Structure 1
């Protein structure tokens, strides 16, 4: 890859209501390469596009996403959108599908941090039916979900997201070996935890490094100088502007 790709994180959460169709429509007007979003499961396992395991922060509903059937969830409104409904994965896929951008999908866990049974496979089947599976980067912090996505196959990339404690407890070599063991092709970390040593250890084995949390000029610049493969940002216009003049050390 010649340059760091930009992913509009939650559609561009600094600028538009996160994980909303409004945000995704706005993000599609900018020349980023990917749109990042999150998926939880409804009571019957439908893939619901929302970041939190609960509804309270971003919608006019309350309680766990998984406690409510899709028929009720789709009547909820996303705050700040002027009345738009909580999106289903099929709606987001249909919106992004005709564009040149790719889907960067994070499969989340339930309120007890447990993977949702069958959610990875359900997402895979839906995306496959729309011809979008090869344009989807599948991600999760949950190791079982990463391994399940890798076993399904057909996705553009499989990303193991590593939180701060796990990152601090492991060497770059440890992370490479676990990434390979899970069948992932990319490790994602917070931008402040990304290092040249981790980048180089991954690249030596044909693996990729991505970051999230690159939301201001300093962290965007850091990610660009490291030459990470993908940076997910809440401010895609700023990242696009800074990338124009960046000369990464890669």
Structure 2
């Protein structure tokens, strides 16, 4: 059965990467919740997608310069919440019967990995006792290699879209390079559709994740193909459609 992943909580239903969104996504019964982590210059691990504040926070400028004091007084757009720390999020999601966690390790505003971020995140996962139900995820294979070095027991997911595949010698070369690096290969839906014949003969369906699907027709299309994992901003819709496929 296809596993349904709530993207940034469930960003088409509630503010993305917010504690409110994560709480509601858990109540939906998703199989996994995906969220993003950056590292600030002051050493905080913050759960937010962009390397800048402008789109999702009532503030501007590089995220990495946000101090703990400034963070306490800023608010996510459309909420009364501040940018959550990784610890804040794990405190919400750490219930023993909770979903799997897809923790995307982001790059800085220059597109470079943050120093030691994989180790720092892994330590937090272990502190909250959720390392056994987490996937550490990234586009960047050097980040995932670092994850394997520091916490080889924590599962990994690698993401790719057409642009990223082209930068790495094409999709076939990319898939070959990551075969032993990650348990799940997450492929953008447009690339998945365009290269389906290559993909289905290279990666077992249970290891494949398609992202990010929000329309009924697209969701049904990939559910019908028995894809292992499906990421959506509308996990409520994906869960409802999955019920019609499996019954």
Query: What is the TM-score with the length of structure 2 in the denominator?
Result: 0.90
Equivalent pair of 1:135/1:155 in contact (CA under 8 Å): no
1:156 deviates by 4.5
Most deviating of 146-155 and 237-246: 146-155
Coordinate RMSD, CA, aligned: 1.8
Determine whether 1:112 maps to 2:113: no
2:120 aligned counterpart, secondary structure: helix
1:95 aligns with one of 84, 92, 95: 92
Question: For residues 176-195 of structure 1, what are the alpha-carbon distances to aligned partners after superposition, in whole Å with 9 as ceiling and x for unaligned?
Answer: 321136x2222111112222
In the alignment, which residue of structure 2 is the partner of 1:15?
13
Single out whichever of 160-169 and 105-114 deviates more from structure 2: 160-169
Pick one of 113, 135, 144 that aligns with 1:146: 144
Are 1:199 and 2:239 counterparts? no
Task: Say if 2:161 and 2:191, in contact at 8 Å, map to a contact too.
Answer: no
DSSP-derived class of the 1:228 partner: coil
Matches of 1:5 and 1:177, distance apart in 2:
24
* Residues 70-81 of structure 1 mapped to structure 2, 5 A cutoff: 70-81=68-79
Alignment partners' CA distance in 1, 2:244 and 2:154:
28
Structure 2: gaps (5+ residues): none
Secondary structure of 2:156's counterpart equals: strand
Structure 2 CA distance for aligned equivalents of residues 133 and 72 of structure 1: 30
Match of 2:184 among 180, 183, 186: 186
Give 4+ residue runs of structure 1 displaced > 6 Å after superposition.
none
1:85 equivalent in alignment to 2:89 = no
Q: TM-score, normalised by structure 1?
A: 0.89
Q: Which runs of 5+ in 1 are unaligned?
A: none
Give the count of matched residue pairs.
240
Q: 1:171 to 1:35 in 2, by over 3 A?
A: closer
Tell me how far apart the structure 2 counterparts of residues 218 and 25 of structure 1 sit (CA, whole Å): 27
